[in-house]
Amino acid sequence: MSLNPVNWSVVIVARWNPAILTPAGMAQYVFGVKVDPAQPVEVLVPIDGLSPYVVKHPKFNLTARLDERRLRIEAQKPDYPTLGEAMNAGRRVLEALPVTPFTAAGINVHFRTDEDMERIIEIVSADIDRPLSDLGYTIKMRSLARTLEWKEGVINLAIGSAEKGFQVQFNFHRETREGPELVKWLQMDVSDVRSCVEKIASGLKLEIGETANGNGDE
């Protein structure tokens, strides 16, 4: 049984100007696409009128949306080549809007299974489980989180129960107010991200898959 990739994205936290990041602005500054009135970019408008609109890249499997202070560039195909394009898009908007007050950038690589996974249960089980069970409580969800130093930033690793099954989440996080430092973070080769994910998964004896369908999230 393997964990399936789902929810891969790049998230940049800043005080974004929504008057700049309109659908046309998303296309120009995030995707580097010149908007042609004859061929406008595709925009998904939420029916509730409250959720942020989503702009689709005309070529790559990417979408972008501005959710309060978070610009989310989502890999609609959660694989490393598409994640690399999301990183390029994140770097592009950082360079295009350099006076924006940035605070952080994250690269998210998530995996999930809808079935029970004994190895994850072993990892997240703790000494506290037995006395709680002895008191008659049923443990409904288990989780474990670690923050690991990596390059100039950190990896936030979270393992635990999902609404159904289990999930493993890697968040490659760099926090700084210096735009050029965030550009450098997103300039790393996506193969570095991949090798790190595979190294940790191998060390924890977790089997992960290569492709799946899903939307990005942090």
- Banded model confidence at residue 103, pLDDT cuts 50, 70, 90: very high
- Tell me the C-alpha distance between 140 and 120, whole Å: 14
Which residue(s) pair with 4 in the sheet?
112
- Banded model confidence at residue 212, pLDDT cuts 50, 70, 90: very low
- Tell me the C-alpha distance between 172 and 77, whole Å: 19
pLDDT one-digit tens code per residue, 87-99 = 999 999 999 999 9
pTM: 0.89
- Tell me the C-alpha distance between 109 and 212, whole Å: 12
- Banded model confidence at residue 215, pLDDT cuts 50, 70, 90: very low
- Banded model confidence at residue 142, pLDDT cuts 50, 70, 90: confident
Q: Where are the domains of the chain?
A: 4-203
Continuous H helices in the chain: 23-25, 80-96, 118-124, 129-134, 179-187, 190-203
Overall average pLDDT of the 143-167 stretch = 93
Query: What is the average pLDDT score of the chain?
Result: 89
What the block records as the tokens of 109 is: 């690589």
pLDDT one-digit tens code per residue, 45-72 = 777 766 788 999 988 999 999 988 999 9
Continuous H helices in 139-189: 179-187
> Which of helix, strand or coil describes residue 99?
coil
User: Is residue 46 within 8 Å of residue 130, measured between CB atoms?
Assistant: no
Which residue(s) pair with 72 in the sheet?
11, 65
